Amino acid sequence: MGNIAAEKNGVVASSASANKDLINGKILITKNGNLSSNGETNTDDQSTEDHHHDYAIAPSISAEIIDKKEHCNQLDHPEIEGWFAEHCSIWPGQAHFLKSSSYGKVFVLDGALQLTERDECAYQEIITHLPLCSISNPKKILLIGGGDGGILREISRHSSVEQIDICEIDTMLINVYKEFFPDIAVGYEDSRVTLHVRDGTAFLKSVESGTYDAIIVDAFDPIRPEHELFESSFFELVAKALRPGGVMCIQAESLWFQPFNIQNLVSKCHHIFKGSVNYAWTIVPSYPSGVIGFMLCTTEGSFVDFKHPVNPIDPNRISGVAKGPLKFYDSEVHSAAFCLPAFAKKAVDTKVVGQ
């Protein structure tokens, strides 16, 4: 069966894998987006860059509850037209609901909310400008994941940038964003962008040492100390691909999810990257807990004070391929991203290194 993306009530549902079945006019989505007509799932392995999880509830476009007892307890709740519901075992105790009409178009991939038109700016702008505004004159940037094009849009605002490489394995995902979210996917229109359709780890292995000034990773679940990436060579490859003093930014765990073991996470990152390391966060209402964190790490070189941007960007100026000015980020928000609640600050201050 061919690739399918559909829209209803502002919810765009798609699958990173090729198959979805229409049953009684409804799209049923489970792990990896594969569900046969008899309800048996296809559990073919997928790359970790596909953002795949096991979800108990399909999006409102399908109006179906999928019983995945082997992964999650069955949820019983009323099905309400126009609402999206998400539940995942990696966020214990959390069941997420939002009304799509309040968030504009909502993109759902295999049951997992990826972004909404209303608050995508909070994520895309922060994960991009925290690292790029923390170093002087960034020229060569690598994005791993980020197939929606929003981070590309934000990178394009930096006039010093000469080369933007994006490594994304799923061209169907890119095409869906271009069709339904053109103001986000506009990032692909920048002439400095080169798309590499391949696995991120394999791409990093082919890169010469010290190639990039910054690497932004938007391809995995929020990292934790026990994340599988720490058992692989991925971070070592990222560090090798960065120039001395180059910066990596990657999505990290929300400070509201316990255990919030940021001490261990910062220590592991510093052990690998050898430079400055810090934790930041931002508000994204449509994400579980409403906030998301970021780890920023530099390779060994000059100290980078992440809290005070040395390469500020004018929030009122329309630049690059973006169709409007910044909506969320400015230099004050940049510094505020490193201001943590008291319980988190105690944990981070003892382990923020490179200063």
The catalytic residue positions are 218
The span from the CA of 6 to the CA of 159, in Å, is 36
The span from the CA of 248 to the CA of 265, in Å, is 14
| Ramachandran angles phi, psi of 241, nearest 5° | -75, -15
Buried residues in 325-348 as b, exposed as e (16+ CB within 10 A): ebebbbeebbeebbebeeebeebb
Phi-psi region of 207 (alpha: psi -120 to 50; beta: other; left: phi over 0): beta
The span from the CA of 275 to the CA of 269, in Å, is 9
| Ramachandran angles phi, psi of 8, nearest 5° | -155, 135
Task: Report the DSSP beta bridge partners of residue 292.
Answer: 282
The span from the CA of 130 to the CA of 148, in Å, is 19
Find all residues with CB under 8 Å of 148, minimum gap 6, and list them: 107, 114, 115, 120, 173, 177, 181, 184, 185
